[in-house]
Amino acid sequence: MAEVTRLVHKYLRHDKKFPHVWCPGCGNGILLGSLIRAIDRTGFDKDQIVVVSGIGCSGRISVYVDFNTLHTTHGRALTFATGIKLANPRLQVIVIMGDGDATAIGGNHFIHAARRNINLTAIVVNNNIYGMTGGQYSPTTPYGALAATALYGNVEHAFSIAELAVMAGASQVSRCTVYHATLLDELIEKAILKRGFSVVEVISHCHTQYGRRNRLGGAVEMLQWQRDSAVRVEKAAGMSPEELEGKITIGVLCDRELPIYTQEYRKVREKARAMTAAGPQG
Amino acid sequence: MNAIKTPPGRPLLLQGNEAIVEGALAAGCRFFAGYPITPATEISEVMSYRLPAVDGTFIQMEDEIAAMGAVIGASLAGVKSMTATSGPGFSLMQENLGFACATEVPCVIVNVMRGGPSTGLPTNVSQGDVMQARWGTHGDHPIIVLAVSTTQDCFGITVRAFNLAEKYRTPVILLADEVVAHTREKIYLPHPEEVEVVDRIRPNMPPDWYIPFEENSRGVPPMSSFGDGYRYHVTGLIHDVRGFPTQRPDEITAFMNRIFRKINQHFFDIQMVSQEETEDAEVLVIAYGSVSRSAHRAIREARRQGVKAGLARLVTLWPFPRQTIEPLLRRMRAVLVPELNMGQMAREVKRINQGITRIETLNRIDGGLITPDEILRRIMKL
């Protein structure tokens, strides 16, 4: 059996929920492929994996994959994931969100999840726009770009999601584009295996809502733009800020060993047991 | 904190909030997510101390929205879970509360009511959230709402709240108020083996046969925990019996009808009213929460003064205990509904009454508790 057929049969609800809702050429399909290849490489059992998603085009990924899957409310995926992981730390919890999902309505949950360093994997699909609702500007829509709610040009400034996660205290942060699919496989695998809160920002494209309105071409042209704009972090380290203007750095931005919430909480339990055993004075 | 080492079965001096924690732990609650808010904070504080000692988990989230999300997540992973808040936080929880209704996730939400609207009167008593508890989240949905009026209730009704949540796969809202939550009184904690604890029914069929939201005679499908080998999909979208989103009118109707029916066909199990001196009563007081304590004193005093007064103390507020209250209304000359709001429950009583018996209201909204004297004066004029 061809590898792709094996993966489709093993990991997708191929006979139940397809065809999918995404537009032809959408980056979410590439991400879905990377996700199941990465999970397959980690070797985790399907019963051990929980995929939690928010609301939006990317949020629909959870319905297509044959794991324990949870499609939550808009922006709140990380809060549900926090409850799942703390209730059963043996589960591998992967959270998939969009840019508006993770950094507008869910921005507070995103930075606090990073700060707490619970062992979760957060994948943020950044397509610079609210696609499902028809192309309104999001926290990652570039300054000056056109959107359904910014017909005169966006006057807000964009978040850099990966950098935000680094500053908020995530253990591992990486960024990739959907054009660089094999690198994306590696980065997602690395993120799942990382002990601690890990983030993968996935630069994707919405040619239907964002590309068309901003005259950036179709899916192919937008993928070519990703190819031409991406610079590996190792190479970017030797480049000047001027040279990096308009570029996307891809690769592992940060990888550090920090105390993990569940391990810390185990210590809390030990102290609590000791204190209550010692009596009311304890 | 001395309560912690005291063996159960002995009298203790506890405040309502502490008794709620004892009730939750006795019912098997092992996960709590919360956010500080007056007058519910003691529940978080005691939980943060007690839960880790019994291998449970306490977490203080970044807001009440997150607390409610974490509670649902923990319950999906198989752990009984709870949060506690007050008015403003309860408002923030509404969206995820609706998610729990739609996805049928058992959990308990304690709302210690304080004066509102908005920031309102954080340290004062109120019963202003009766309607929000029923209708706060969007869309048609069934919900169970229980009210507590004594510290002993705070233990027993909290256990009951968990049992109903598990039995019917639904969020249960426990409405306390600032007076019940902060009043210290004597309470007897039963021995753990004397506490009736209900756990959710889990699937026992092979995973391939599991249809997670399939109709059955109880209307409550067995619930598998994430990680147990029954991989299934949970979504806040209207879903078919397999849990997948649907827009088919027949599947939408079947889903909505089932989640209502699972509550409606068990009214007699869910609806709790305690009656005092109603057998020969001519006038009736319908009250709940701390106000029912004042009403209890008032009807006794009224009887001493020759008026045959009775009290129906509502424990279940929603679904409204119509089967008990309707026959009572028909027997009475007049009914008084004292409340710490502008008449939220009185509105429901009047709706059930259909104009047959005279219903009067007594409303106090100044942050103080309705006194027995205020109720007595009104009983004497009924």
Integer angstrom CA distances of residue A97 from A22, A107, B236, B242, B337: 15, 11, 16, 23, 49
pLDDT per residue over A111-148, tens digit each? 999 999 999 999 999 999 999 999 999 999 999 999 99
Residue-range definition of the domain harbouring residue A236: 3-278
Q: Both tokens of residue B204?
A: 């026992």
Q: Is the pLDDT of residue A279 over 70?
A: no
Hey, how many other C-beta atoms are within 10 angstroms of the C-beta on B317? 26
Rounded to the nearest integer, the mean pLDDT of chain B is 96
Q: Is the pLDDT of residue A75 over 60?
A: yes
Residue whose structure tokens are 């490489």: A41
Length of chain A: 282
For residue A256, give the CATH number of its domain.
Answer: 3.40.50.970
Mean pLDDT, range B131-145, rounded to an integer: 97
> What is the reported pLDDT for B8?
56
| Distance between CA atoms of residues B103 and B259, nearest Å | 10
pTM: 0.97
Q: Calculate Rg over the CA atoms of chain A.
A: 20
| Distance between CA atoms of residues B102 and B96, nearest Å | 10
Which chain A residue's Cα is nearest to B52? A269
Helix (H) or strand (E) holding B311: strand B309-314
The full set of domains in chain B, from first to last, is 2-194 (3.40.50.970), 274-381 (3.40.50.920)
Q: Which of B130, B147, B185 is nearest to B343 (CA)?
A: B130
Q: For chain B, say whether A66 makes contact (Cβ under 8 Å).
A: yes
What residues of A are in contact with residue B235 (Cβ under 8 Å)?
Answer: 62-63, 70-71
Q: Both tokens of residue B257?
A: 């009808």
A-facing residues of B in 61-80 (CB < 8 A) are 61-63, 65-79
Task: Give ipTM to 2 decimals.
Answer: 0.97
Q: Which residues lie below 8 Å from residue B77, measured CB to CB, with a gap of 6+? A: A83, A84, A87, A88, A91, B225, B226, B227
Q: Is the pLDDT of residue A280 over 70?
A: no
pLDDT per residue over B208-219, tens digit each? 999 999 999 999
Q: How many Å is the maximal CA-CA distance in chain B?
A: 69
| Distance between CA atoms of residues A112 and B61, nearest Å | 8
Which one-letter DSSP state was computed for residue A194?
S
What is the number of domains present in chain A? 1
* Residue scoring higher pLDDT (B11 or A114): A114
DSSP β-ladder status, B184-188 and B11-15: antiparallel
Coil vs helix vs strand at A117:
coil
Mean pLDDT, range B287-300, rounded to an integer: 98
The percentage of residues in chain A with a pLDDT greater than 70, rounded to a whole number, is: 99
Q: In this complex, do A272 and B53 lie within 8 Å of one another by their Cβ atoms?
A: yes
Confidence of residue B5 (pLDDT cuts 50, 70, 90): very low
Chain A nearest C-alpha distance from B277 (Å)? 43
Q: For chain A, say whether B95 makes contact (Cβ under 8 Å).
A: yes
Coil vs helix vs strand at B239:
strand
DSSP string covering B41-89: HHHHHHHHHHGGGGT-EEEE-SSHHHHHHHHHHHHHTT--EEEEE-HHH
